[in-house]
Amino acid sequence: MDIKIPEHLVQYCQNIVKPVSGNPFQIEERDKGTALSPEQIRRMQEDILHLKKERNAVLLVHNYQAPEIQDIADYVGDSLGLSREAAKTKAEVICFCGVNFMGETAKILNPERIVVLPDTDAGCSLEECAPAEELAKFKAEHPELFVVSYINCSSAVKALSDVICTSGNAVRIVSKCPKDRPILFTPDQNLGSWVAKQTGRKMILWPGCCYAHALFTAEAVNQAKKEHPEAKVVAHPECLQEVKDVSDEVCSTEKMISYCRENPAREFIIVTEANMIHRLQKECPGKLFFPLRVRGYLPECRHMKKITLSKLLDTLRTLRPQIHLSKEIMDQARAPIERMLEWS
């Protein structure tokens, strides 16, 4: 297989995720919102639950959302679980708390329903790393490619893909891909290289990565292990290989819950977005979880943090902002998503 990713794409992706000095997870000033008292949080949660009923809405929430949002969800989970929930819901309105590509996936699976996301600017660095025009160009130059796209990508990239995967099913999906076609894996090279290793399938890797997970280092893990020598290390596959090499388990955010619940260990170092700890503590009482910090900073995804309780309340009041996509894109993107749901 002698297909090479052009150098300008490597540069392009490196620019998107280049590390910054100071707090790399700094939330933008306009996204900070006002600090709420426990009483204000409780009242807003009650209003949200009331409106949710009135609107016949289902509240789907990703594991990286703030605790006060997770606590009132109908379903909290990883991208795979959320896609499955979106595919089977009968609610009139899907209110999604996560990033934009997750809301778009729900809309593609439910074109007739109203899908709202409290802030449609909540993006993802992986999505940014894969512009659809570049993928279309690359595919035109190499029509033999079988394209597997991680769900963290735009609808236009999904529309150009043969099958979608999530971190929870990527190994299974790639092992089912045709053996007589070269595979292009987009956009996460860290998940892609891990899947290639697990499945033994050679793949061409799009050079994207998650700005947050790429900041964890093996050195930081080893330091945390010294501080918590009894702890097991659990890392997300979006982390660098050097981090995965020193971890006890590499898995999706959902699998982290069952791994920590079933493992006899009492302490765990968690190498992913920090809000993951909330569900782990709730579902594994009596166990201790230590988020791995980066240069002393708590790793919070600045895109996920755009969703706040007050934006969620406004969204249920106004049913805005809604996700809108062209019929053409939705129809093209639905087939590879449905293929993923069938294969997993």
Classify residue 165 by burial, with Cβ atoms within 10 Å: 0-12, 13-18, 19+: buried
Q: What share of the chain is helix, strand, coil (3-state, %, to 5)?
A: 45, 15, 40
- The set of residues, in sequence order, having a beta carbon less than 8 Å from that of 260 and lying 6+ positions away, is 232, 234, 268, 280, 284, 287, 289
> Among ligand SF4, ligand 13P, none, what does residue 303 contact (CB within 5–8 Å per kind)?
ligand SF4
Among 279, 303, 305, 311, which residue interacts with ligand SF4 (rule: CB under 6 A)? Answer: 303
Question: Does residue 238 touch ligand 13P according to CB under 6 A?
Answer: yes
> Among ligand 13P, ligand SF4, none, what does residue 243 contact (CB within 5–8 Å per kind)?
none
Cβ atoms of 248 and 233 closer than 8 Å: yes
Tokens of 224: 């945390």
Element (H, E) at 57: strand 57-62
Cβ atoms of 159 and 333 closer than 8 Å: yes
* Of residues 219, 303, 210, the one with CA closest to residue 19: 210
> Among ligand SF4, ligand 13P, none, what does residue 86 contact (CB within 5–8 Å per kind)?
none
Nearer to ligand 13P, 89 or 252 (CB): 252
- Helix/strand/coil for 189: helix
Question: Does residue 79 touch ligand 13P according to CB under 6 A?
Answer: yes
| Rounded Cα gap, residues 221 and 211, in angstroms | 18
Nearer to ligand 13P, 122 or 160 (CB): 122
Which range of residues in 26-34, 209-217, 218-226, 336-344 is near ligand SF4 by CB under 6 A? 209-217
> Among ligand SF4, ligand 13P, none, what does residue 239 contact (CB within 5–8 Å per kind)?
none
> Among ligand 13P, ligand SF4, none, what does residue 125 contact (CB within 5–8 Å per kind)?
ligand SF4
Among 124, 165, 205, 220, which residue interacts with ligand SF4 (rule: CB under 6 A)? Answer: 124
Q: Identify residues 118-177 at the interface with ligand 13P (CB under 6 A).
A: 152, 166-168
Which range of residues in 47-55, 205-213, 220-228, 275-283 is near ligand SF4 by CB under 6 A? 205-213
Provide the minimum distance between the beta carbon of 211 and ligand SF4 in the complex, in angstroms, as a whole number: 6
| Rounded Cα gap, residues 23 and 208, in angstroms | 21
Question: Does residue 210 touch ligand SF4 according to CB under 6 A?
Answer: yes
Among 100, 105, 252, 275, which residue interacts with ligand 13P (rule: CB under 6 A)? Answer: 252
Provide the minimum distance between the beta carbon of 213 and ligand 13P in the complex, in angstroms, as a whole number: 6
Strands (E), 218-336: 232-235, 249-250, 267-271, 288-291
Torsion of CA 130, 178, 196, 99, to 10 degrees: 40
Tokens of 305: 């943090």
Which range of residues in 29-37, 198-206, 207-215, 282-290 is near ligand SF4 by CB under 6 A? 207-215
Question: Does residue 304 touch ligand SF4 according to CB under 6 A?
Answer: yes
- Which residues are registered as beta bridge partners of 87? none
- Start-to-end CA span in the chain (Å): 27
Among 99, 195, 250, 277, which residue interacts with ligand SF4 (rule: CB under 6 A)? Answer: 99
Summarize as ranges the residues that interact with ligand SF4 (CB under 6 A): 99, 124-126, 152, 210-213, 238, 273, 301, 303-304
Summarize as ranges the residues that interact with ligand 13P (CB under 6 A): 63, 78-79, 152, 166-168, 210, 236, 238, 252-253
